Amino acid sequence: MAVVFEVVVRLVIKDSMANNPNHQSLCRRRRRQSREQKSINQQQQHEQKHRQQQPKYYEFDQMPEYLRFNQWIHSGYRSPQLSTIECLKSCFELHNETMNIWTHLLSILYILYNFRTIFITKFYNSKLIYFHIISCLSSWIGSLLYHIFMNHRLGRKIYYPLLKIDMFGIWITQTFGALTTIQASLIMFDESFRLYFSVIYLAISMVVLYECLQAKESWQRSTSFSILFLMRLICFMIRLRTHYNPNQMSLLLKIFKYRHIIGQEIWPIIGAIIASTKIPERFFHNGQFDYFLNSHNIMHCLVVMGGLHMHWSFTDDIQFFIN
């Protein structure tokens, strides 16, 4: 009897709930949420299975077109479908961008760690120190962001903005990093002439910025900075003629005296030439330069050397101003 009574009560409750609109709406909402959760779980399982089937590193022919910029680097490419976290994790993995990442990352960390000893307190009397600090860090930060996130799964939508950030950092170094050298080279002229020359240099640099951001090929981006180099070369020749008597120092002594000015210009130029000609990997087809010491790796190392000489040249020029 008790069992029959319990069954009847359950049927009555079930019937009353079935006729309740709120209960029906709640049931439909729960079924919809259940279907959505099931769909999400299936999608996650599919992505996980797809990720497990993907190779850890790719060959050149497997990469999308916008990431094929060196046909002589055959292997070691990261997946072009990396998430933001995976891009960051790849900094601690071995692939063909590892050396490009760490050459600049170590340089940034070194500057930040030794900031107080690198930038001596007495230099802060000159406003040029702030341009110099920005110039030292900007190209390395821009390049670092580019090489870390270039394989992000957003593809072209993020690749080309990253490339422009990289070029913008280089432009900052080329433009503002040269102001100290220009001022020191033209110190024998009056202040108004130095100001006019600096304004002209900055105006031309704006045109250079537009050209390098619009360039389609790597060699076009490199050569767009050539006019700024020529202006700095003119300043250097003026320095040689005005700072010392031409007969007072031999050529070797002049080269040694201005080795940092020469180094800040020559090392990046050599690096750009090596990167454009794809040496040495173009002469070796067995992939032995895929991970280390390919042309882009060498260019990064030479750019770091150029940055060191730029800093040493700056300290010499500020000391020259003080004296």
Q: Which residues are annotated as a binding site for Zn(2+)?
A: 147, 296, 300
User: Which residues are paired to 77 by β-bridges?
Assistant: 58
**3-class SS letters over 205-230:** HHHHHHHHHHCCCHHHHHHCCHHHHH
Q: Which residues does the annotation place in the binding site? A: 147, 296, 300
Residue pair 57/86 in contact (Cβ under 8 Å)? The answer is no
Determine how many CB atoms are found less than 10 A away from the CB of residue 78: 22
Q: Which two tokens stand for residue 231?
A: 């202006």
Q: How far is CA 242 from CA 65, 185, 186, 234, 237, in A?
A: 52, 8, 9, 12, 9
How far is the C-alpha of 10 from the C-alpha of 15, rounded, in Å?
8
Angle at 251 between CA 247 and CA 254, to 5 degrees: 90
Facing residues of 152 across strands?
Answer: 82
Residue 81 CA to residue 47 CA, distance in Å, equals 11
Q: Which residues pair with 82 in a beta bridge?
A: 152
In whole angstroms, what is the distance from residue 302 CA to residue 307 CA? 9
Q: How far apart are CA 95 and CA 86, in angstroms?
A: 13
